[in-house]
Amino acid sequence: MKDYADRTGTIERLIKSGVIIPCPATVIIEDTVKIEAGVKILPNTIITGNTEIKSNSVIGPNSYVQDSKIGNSTTLNNTQCYNSEIGSFVSAGPFVHIRPDCKISDNVHIGNFVEVKNSKVGNGSKLPHLLYVGDSSVGKNVNFGCGAVTVNYNGRTKSKTIVKDGAFIGCNTNLIAPVTIGKNAFTAAGSTIPKNVPDNALSVARARQTNKEEWVNIKKPYKWQHQEIK
C-alpha cells in the first residue's frame, strides 16, 4: 500500500479528472488504478492493483476492489471483489464477496450475503440473497432462490455445476456437483439435486411431508413443558 502522501496525490488527480469522491479522507486508491470520469467512490472504499472502472459506476460505501475490471454504470455496495471481471449495469451488495476468477456479465443482480467464486454468470441472471455459487457456469436469465448452494467440494476434489439459460433454482436447493441443470428447468424449493435435470423439467428431491398429530403433547420436547407451574 502506498504511503499517505502518494494516496492523496492519486485521489486529487482522479478528482480533477472527473471522478466523484465525496469523502476523500476515507478512501484509499493506489496509483495503478484506472478510473474513468463520472465514477463515484463512496466512503471507506479501498481500490488496489490493476483495477479498471468504467464511467458512471458507483463503488462503495465500504467496498474493496483488487485487480478487477468493472464495467460502466455498475454498483458495488459493501462488496469485496478480487481478480475478477464485472460487466456493465451490474448491481452487487450489500455484503457480497466476489472471489478470484469470476466473470459477471452485464445486467446481473447479486443481492445481500452472496459469495461467488471461480464462476461465470450470464447476462441478466439474478443471485438475490444468501447464496454460494462456486466453480459454476451460470447461463443467461437464471434465477437463484434464497439459500441455494452449489455444493462443489466433497472433501477431496472440487467439481463444476452448470446451470443453463433460463433455469430457476428454488429456495434452499443444494446442487451437488458435478451436475447440470437444463435450459428453462426448475428445481423445487428445498431439494437436493445430485443428478442432471433435463431441459424444461421440474426436479423435486425431498421427502414427502408427514404430520404426526399431538406429537408435541406426547413427547413434550420443550423445556417449558417440564417446568412446574407455581
Catalytic annotation, residues: 129
* E strand or H helix at 11: helix 4-16
The SS3 of residue 135 is coil
* E strand or H helix at 138: strand 136-138
Q: Give the DSSP letter string of 155-224.
A: SS-B--EEE-TT-EE-TT-EEESSEEEPTT-EE-TT-EE-S-B-TT-EE--SPPP---TTHHHHH--SGG
User: Is cis: bond before 100, omega within 30 of 0?
Assistant: no
Q: In Å, what is the CA distance from 219 to each residue of 210, 223, 226?
A: 16, 11, 11
Q: How far apart are CA 200 and CA 161, in angstroms?
A: 18
Written as nine digits, the cell of 56 is 458512471
User: Is residue 170 a contact partner of residue 191, using CB atoms and an 8 Å limit?
Assistant: yes
User: Which one, of 45, 39, 13, lies nearest residue 27 by Cα?
Assistant: 45
User: Is residue 151 a contact partner of residue 175, using CB atoms and an 8 Å limit?
Assistant: yes
